[in-house]
Homo-oligomer: A and B are copies of this chain.
Amino acid sequence: MRSESVPAGRTFLEEARRAQIIGCAIDTLAAEGYSRATMARIAERARVSKSVIVYHFATKERVFEQVVAEVFQSATDALRPHLDAETTPADKLRAYIAGRVQFLSTHQAHMLALFEIWMNLRSDDGALRMSEADAESTVDAIEQLLAAGQASGDFGDFSARVMAMAVRQAIDGVLLQLRVDPHLDLDEYARELVALFDRATRRTS
């Protein structure tokens, strides 16, 4: 399926180690935060020497890039079927919100790790490394969905960009809330958000 995840040159064993390390990187980022997610601590979680990580990824930056790729992939894979099952823009939007929130609950560490990297990973010149790619792809997807709904007359009149950003932010907010209160009732949360944006996007008669 995902031809990218097991490229030509990699053995099964190597792929397993890489997956293990990425997993531990995710857990470390989620549990201890970006600045504590050092090679040493990731290695410790994997019960492996630091050098093993270097051997498989060459660079800490590369590890984090892989974390981002992995989380993106998982999130996209998980969301796609839910989205494809719906036809009307309004239903797609509901599915999007509900799907994302559900993904958060099953992949909390993944999303927290992504968030940590997104917020903190910078290139040598000090510029953020991830913000563009992410902002582009995630918000844009929602924006297009909304614009389609406006074109079809299902949605009312509003800035698709601002609404898209609000949707995205509301979903990310669940994550931050989870960090404070891990026993949050996510079902209720999802329902409320769906209803909220239903009202906000609905065409006013």
Contacts and interface: CB of A to CB of B under 8 A. Distances in A.
Chain A binding surface, main DSSP class: helix
Contact of A35 (B120, B131, B195): B120
A70 interface: no
A162 B120 contact: no
A199 interface: yes
Given A170-B166, A170-B169, A180-B135, A196 B32 contact: no
A80 interface: no
Interface in A83-129: 116, 119-120, 122, 126, 128
A82 interface: no
Contacts of A192: 158-159, 162-163
Contact of A166 (B126, B158, B173, B176): B173
24 contacts: A31-B126, A33-B128, A34-B120, A35-B35, A35-B120, A36-B126, A116-B119, A131-B176, A132-B180, A135-B176, A135-B177, A156-B199, A158-B192, A158-B195, A159-B192, A162-B192, A162-B196, A163-B192, A163-B196, A165-B177, A169-B170, A169-B176, A170-B170, A199-B202
Interface of A: 31-36, 116, 119-120, 122, 126, 128, 131-132, 135, 156, 158-159, 162-163, 165-166, 168-170, 172-174, 176-177, 179-180, 188-189, 192-193, 195-197, 199-200, 202, 204
